[in-house]
Amino acid sequence: MIALIQRVTSAAVDVKAKRVAKIECGILLLLTVEHNNTAIITERMIDRVLAYRVFADSDDRMNQSLFDIAGDLLIVPQFTRYERLNLTDSSRELFDYAVDYSRSNHGCVESGIFAAEMRVHHR
């Protein structure tokens, strides 16, 4: 599993010019599920992302997590053209599991659509 995170003040996902997800201050997570991933690996990755201390505290130190700031999480499936040709049902299931697991462990979680052509906006 590969996860790329970015702190955002807002982020959104559009599919065919229709907004499918939107968050305010939080983390944009681009998530790639690899063929050998499991539910355990997925849980560990999501736990890490939720706990990363990438937000500034009152002393301007990167010392707060998404939990600490009550921030939002936007999970977007990220696959290269080659990987799209090899998508499996288990890839979709693990992506969906990552979203469900995140929602069960954190407040506001939105997601893109698996295997869709998406436009991601963030600032």
Closest CA to 2 of 81, 75, 65, 104: 75
Q: What angle do CA 47, 38, 20 make, to 5 degrees?
A: 65
Q: How many C-beta atoms lie closer than 10 Å to residue 113's C-beta? A: 14
Whether 78 is catalytic is yes
What are the residue ranges spanned by the domains of the chain?
A: 2-122
> What is the pTM (predicted TM-score) of this model?
0.92
Catalytic residue among 6, 42, 55, 80: 80
Whether 38 is catalytic is no
Catalytic residue among 38, 42, 64, 78: 78
At the top level of CATH, which class does the domain 2-122 belong to?
A: alpha beta
Three-state secondary structure call for residue 72: strand
d(CA 13, CA 19): 6
Note down pLDDT in tens along the chain; length 123 residues.
899 999 999 999 999 999 999 999 999 999 988 878 899 999 999 999 999 999 999 999 999 999 999 999 999 998 754 455 556 678 889 999 999 999 999 989 999 998 888 999 999
Q: What angle do CA 103, 61, 31 make, to 5 degrees?
A: 35
Catalytic residue among 42, 55, 79, 114: 79
Whether 6 is catalytic is no
